[in-house]
Structures are given as structure tokens and as C-alpha cells.
Amino acid sequence: MGLFKNYVSQTRKPEGFLGKMMIKGMNSGHAKMADWGLSHFPEINPHEILEIGCGGGRNAGELLKRYTKAKVTAIDYSPLSVEQAKEYNKTAIESGRCIVQEGNVSALTLETENYDLATAFETIYFWPGLKTCFSEVAKVLTPGGYFMIVNESDGTDAASLKFEKIIDGMKTYTAEQIINVLKEAGFSEIKSFHHESKPWITVIAKK
């Protein structure tokens, strides 16, 4: 259990050799879920995108492909994730379309009302104080900007509830719980989607 716990705990803040293994697994293992989430997104043309908890950088890369005229700022509080995401998006960084840097969603130091779209794939489980973090996201979004959350867990599936007991600081949420906190943080026009056969959820909110 010791090695297993150490490995799965890397989902929170990847570090060292096990962290590198986890990041590689995240990029490939979460791809279908992330793409399913993106498929529900409304037709918009954002200029500035914020990818929060970017992990290995795969989803930042997909956002760059989907929104070809946008710039993406990807942040993570794991230095290792930042390093890996920079490598994954090296070409986009060199062309000036992508920035990858360390950041903490509970205290964002980014420009206010600057981003048309903010995304959070498989990360809010570890955010300290959901209302505070959602309010921080709202602060940096433009009026009318969108915040998209994609989770592999709907807050009730047995597998995720098991990991919640193993991984320190992990908390899963139902779509209803997420929606309620988003409203408290000032978001409106909130929609949620649930995969027909998996516990995947997508929640989309407008500032």
C-alpha cells in the first residue's frame, strides 16, 4: 500500500520520478475524458485562455489547436508539472502563443478581467476552499467569460471515493455541489453534462 499510495498521491502535486510517471500517464489516460468535455463547449472565439492545473500540458496543447487565434496561459503549482508542460508545448511557447508558469489558484497573481476562458481538467479535487478558488477564477475572467470544469468523477463513483480516502487533501464533488459553489462565487448561466456510461462530468459557467 505504501508505494501505491505514494504513486496515486502524485495526482495532487507531482514530484520526482513517480511524479514524472504520473504526469505521463495523465496526458494519455485523461485524453478521452478531456476531449469529451471539450465537445460540450459553446461556440466561442476566445483571445486569452487560462488553463489551471495544467499537469503535463496536453490539454493546453489541445486548447491551442481548438482555438487557433488564442493565446494560452497554463499554470500549475507543481514545478515538475510546469517543466513537463513547457516541454510538451515547446513550439507554441517559442511562437509566443503559450506561457507556462507556476501559479496557485487560491491566490492568482494574474491580470484581472483578462481571460475569455478558464479551464480546469481533473484538478478541482485538490483546490483548497472551493468558493475562494472559484472567486479567484472569476476575478481574472472578462465579463461574460466562461469557466469550464471537467472531472473524471461525478462525486459518487466508488473508485474515486476510494481514492479520496487514500490521497491526502482530495475531495470529489457532484455536479450539483460544483454548481452551487459557482453561484456563490458569482457565476451564472451554468450547465452540466454527465457521460452516458461513465462518471465523467463537465460543468460550464459564465461570469
Q: Specify the CATH number for the domain of residue 52.
A: 3.40.50.150
Average pLDDT over residues 23-30: 59
For residue 74, the enclosing domain spans: 2-36+45-94+111-206
Contact criterion met (CB below 8 Å) for 154 and 175:
yes
Q: What is the pLDDT of residues 37-59, one digit of tens each?
A: 999 998 999 999 999 999 899 99
Instruction: Kindly state whether residue 101 falls inside one of the protein's structural domains.
Output: no
Give the global pTM: 0.89
Residue 43: CB partners within 8 Å, gap ≥ 6?
none
Local structure of 76: helix, strand or coil: strand
Q: For position 107, what pLDDT does the model report?
A: 96
Residue 80: CB partners within 8 Å, gap ≥ 6?
14, 15, 16, 19, 20, 23
CA neighbours closer than 13 Å in the CB half-sphere of residue 15: 6
Angstrom distance (rounded) from CA 130 to CA 125: 9
Average pLDDT over residues 139-149: 98
Average pLDDT over residues 64-91: 94
Instruction: Kindly state whether residue 99 falls inside one of the protein's structural domains.
Output: no
188 C-beta neighbours (distance < 10 Å), count: 9
Least confident interval from 9-18, 171-180, 196-205: 9-18
Q: For position 16, what pLDDT does the model report?
A: 55
Identity (one letter) of the amino acid at 151? N
Is residue 3's pLDDT more than 50? no
> What's the length of the chain?
207
Exposed / middle / buried, residue 2 (Cβ in 10 Å: 0-12, 13-18, 19+): exposed
Instruction: Kindly state whether residue 100 falls inside one of the protein's structural domains.
Output: no
Instruction: Kindly state whether residue 70 falls inside one of the protein's structural domains.
Output: yes
Instruction: Kindly state whether residue 6 falls inside one of the protein's structural domains.
Output: yes
Local structure of 71: helix, strand or coil: strand
Angstrom distance (rounded) from CA 153 to CA 173: 8
Work out the mean pLDDT of the chain and round it to a whole number.
Answer: 88
Higher pLDDT, 28 or 137: 137
Q: For position 25, what pLDDT does the model report?
A: 56
Q: Which residues pair with 76 in a beta bridge?
A: 102
Is residue 76's pLDDT more than 90? yes
Instruction: Kindly state whether residue 106 falls inside one of the protein's structural domains.
Output: no
Q: What is the pLDDT of residues 88-143, one digit of tens each?
A: 999 999 999 999 999 999 999 999 999 999 999 999 999 999 999 999 999 999 99
In angstroms, the Cα distances linking 91 to 31, 95, 103, 142, 178 are: 20, 6, 22, 27, 35
Is residue 9's pLDDT more than 70? no
Average pLDDT over residues 65-90: 94
Tally of domains in the chain: 1
Residue 161: CB partners within 8 Å, gap ≥ 6?
172
Is residue 23's pLDDT more than 60? no
Instruction: Kindly state whether residue 103 falls inside one of the protein's structural domains.
Output: no
pLDDT confidence band for 5 (50 / 70 / 90): very low
